[in-house]
Structure 1
Amino acid sequence: MSQPRTGIIILAAGDSSRLGYPKQIARYKDKTLLQLAIDAANGSKADKKVLVLGAFKDEIKKTFSGASIPNIPNPNWEKGMASTLVKGLEYLQKIDPVDQVIVMLCDQPFVDSKILNKLISIQAKTGKGIVACEYSKTFGVPILFGKDYFDKLVELTGDEGAKKIAMAHQDDMELVSFPKGKTDVDTEADLRDLNL
């Protein structure tokens, strides 16, 4: 059997209201948080990638090479994270559909291609429909969904994240330990702590 085709959606459409400026362009180790996410996606074994932008998209686009990753706008980003995820999934399925998708954010600086590849390899090994990262006694993104869940993903609304679906199908989920996954950037203090 051939390898399932994997797509990655980077959700980067939010307006970073708690930070006060686009966190996509906040810097860690000489790179923007968004660039770190793009590098992780591009370094992974995924077949297709898409970056979904929303708020401040023109400003953010100046900070990375447009040729480095397909990127699309979500004009409805204010409707919440779900609309961004749906936009990305629709894009991936349009021309050359994928069999599974990894949802990732742009504010987890320790996500790298290794952890993304681990999600793919654990899925291949276990055959589970969902593979999530485990940290801080919970689980979350990056998270992989097989195509059986695509219909449920496109039904999400508002700020419902993919985690809601994973919570409801834990019998079909495998976890990958990723303690550093708990680190994300929402405020200036988070950024300071990160750069210490």
Structure 2
Amino acid sequence: MDHREGVSVAAILLAAGRARRMGQNGPHKLLAEFDSVPLVRRSAMVLLASNATPVVAVTGHRQGDVEQALVGLDIVTLFNRSYGTGMASSLACGVSHPQISECDGVLVMLADMPGILTEHIDCIVQAFQKSGGEAIVRASFGDTPGHPVLFPRLLYGHLMRLEGDVGAREVIGDSELPIVMIDIGRAALLDVDTPTAIIENGGVLRD
């Protein structure tokens, strides 16, 4: 029997943040358009075309606008009422969803990374399945760790206990599990947090 069989992977798209670096009452970075598609929708489509299923998007700031950008996609949306406390609450919100908790692993993707492609996701998923679902797998640019990151079910409890405006760095650091790095190039480090970054990377600002 192939040890990859039965190793299921879900995905969480983190799309809840306030995007403070976009400026006071500035445009929402996730609604900026890349190739005429809102960035949050583009990110969701990348995940939906991958071998990760189901896909759950966690929303928060400007929930209505973000969810409108996802209309028509086969994606579960969850509103994180505590989104103002930071990324940890969005991670916990996503991981606690029943469809996620049933899976052997969950890939966590930030919605503001326009360079991520479906083939990147599938390489990460494949590496996780090859590990038998027992490793942390993360994208990198050379030796520099980046995003997305795929966590085994063993760490779900740790992810749900995180607090504040932190990602899962401490969970990765405290874990004694093997860490597999998948070099996907510059895309692993490219997030568009400012209007300048959006424009420089081919995006068009919207409201």
Q: TM-score, normalised by structure 1?
A: 0.92
* Corresponding letter in the other structure for 2:159: L
RMSD: 1.9
Show structure 1 runs of 4+ deviating over 4 A: none
State the distance in 2 between where 1:145 and 1:183 align: 21
> Deviation of residue 72 (structure 1)?
1.1
1:136·1:182 contact (CA, 8 Å) conserved in 2?
no
> Deviation of residue 63 (structure 1)?
2.0
State the distance in 2 between where 1:117 and 1:157 align: 29
* Corresponding letter in the other structure for 2:82: N
Identify the residue that residue 164 of structure 1 maps to in structure 2. 170
Q: 1:27 pairs with 20, 28, 33, which one?
A: 33
2:5 pairs with 1:5: no
* Corresponding letter in the other structure for 2:69: T
Identify the residue that residue 65 of structure 1 maps to in structure 2. 71
> Deviation of residue 169 (structure 1)?
3.2
> Deviation of residue 49 (structure 1)?
1.1
2:53 pairs with 1:47: yes
Aligned residues between the structures: 195
Report the 3-state secondary structure (helix = DSSP H, G, I; strand = E; otherwise coil) of the residue aligned with 1:175.
Answer: strand
Q: TM-score, normalised by structure 2?
A: 0.87
> Which digits, 9 at most, give the CA deviation of each residue in 1:96-121, with x for residues without a partner?
71110000011110112111111111
Structure 2, unaligned runs of 5 or more:
none
State the distance in 2 between where 1:97 and 1:67 align: 22
Comparing 73-82 and 124-133, the one that deviates more: 124-133
State the distance in 2 between where 1:43 and 1:131 align: 19
* Corresponding letter in the other structure for 1:4: V
Residues 62 and 152 of structure 1: CA distance in aligned 2, closer, same or farther (over 3 Å): same
Report the 3-state secondary structure (helix = DSSP H, G, I; strand = E; otherwise coil) of the residue aligned with 1:62.
Answer: helix
State the distance in 1 between where 2:55 and 2:68 align: 19
State the distance in 1 between where 2:70 and 2:14 align: 15
Identify the residue that residue 82 of structure 2 maps to in structure 1. 76
2:122 pairs with 1:117: yes
2:28 pairs with 1:14: no
State the distance in 2 between where 1:178 and 1:92 align: 30
Identify the residue that residue 106 of structure 2 maps to in structure 1. 101
Comparing 27-36 and 134-143, the one that deviates more: 134-143
Q: 1:191 pairs with 191, 194, 198, which one?
A: 198
1:41·1:116 contact (CA, 8 Å) conserved in 2?
yes
> Which digits, 9 at most, give the CA deviation of each residue in 1:112-170, with x for residues without a partner?
21111111111122344200111264213200000111111111111121122123337
State the distance in 2 between where 1:163 and 1:185 align: 20
Aligned residues with identical type, % of pairs: 26
* Corresponding letter in the other structure for 2:17: G
State the distance in 2 between where 1:185 and 1:92 align: 31
